[in-house]
Amino acid sequence: MDIDELIHKLADDRGWALLYLKDEDAYRLTVSLPEERFQDVYVNFRRDEEEWYVATLWTVISSVDDFNLTQPKELLAFNWRSMYGSLAIRDGEVVLVHNQLADDADWNEIARTVQHMARTADGIEKEIYGDLDEN
């Protein structure tokens, strides 16, 4: 199954809102979470050095200014513990990012990745902003 088709099917099956952002050449999946919270997970496609398509999934946690970056060892330890996504900085925001070979992606892999990333990012966001649902 083509990964574009897979993302559309996944959004339909899970009831997640899906929007294609033409300016960013990315999909935005809005994942519903407990406590009437939501988390946006983005997907775009890049080519690696061998010309394979790689799906990059990311979700915004906070602005860099709001995130505690004073303990780099803890941040690296988080990246080791996290099965779905690693912390990164993108355009002045702290994000959780995960890369997946697009040609080999299957429904279960992408569904689990999106769901876990959304929950993890929302949990960290809640620690930073409290009940305010920012992303």
3-129 CATH fold:
Yope Regulator; Chain: A, (3.30.1460)
pLDDT > 70: percent of the chain: 96
| C-alpha to C-alpha distance for 36 and 47, rounded to whole angstroms | 36
Strand partners of residue 27 = 20, 43
**pLDDT at res. 1:** 52
Rounded to whole angstroms, the Cα distance separating 11 from 106 reads 14
Q: Residue ranges per domain, the chain?
A: 3-129
Beta bridge partners of 94: 62, 89
pLDDT score of 3: 76
Lowest mean pLDDT among 66-75, 84-93, 104-113: 104-113
Confidence band, pLDDT 50/70/90 cuts, at residue 133:
low
pLDDT of residue 130: 84
Contact criterion met (CB below 8 Å) for 29 and 11: yes
Beta strands across the sheet bearing 93-101: 17-21, 26-33, 37-47, 53-63, 93-101, 86-90
Averaged over 100-116, what is the pLDDT? 88
CA distance 71 to 98: 22
Mean per-residue pLDDT of the chain: 91
pLDDT at 135 over 60: no
**Residues 11-58: tens digit of each pLDDT:** 999 999 999 999 989 999 999 999 899 999 999 989 999 999 899 999
Neighbour-count burial for 110-130, b at 16+ CB within 10 Å, e otherwise:
bbebbbbbbbbbbebbbeeee
User: Does the global pTM surpass 0.85?
Assistant: yes
Q: State residue 5's pLDDT score.
A: 85
How far is the first Cα of the chain from the last one, in angstroms, to the nearest whole number? 30
Residue 66: pLDDT band with limits 50, 70, 90? very high
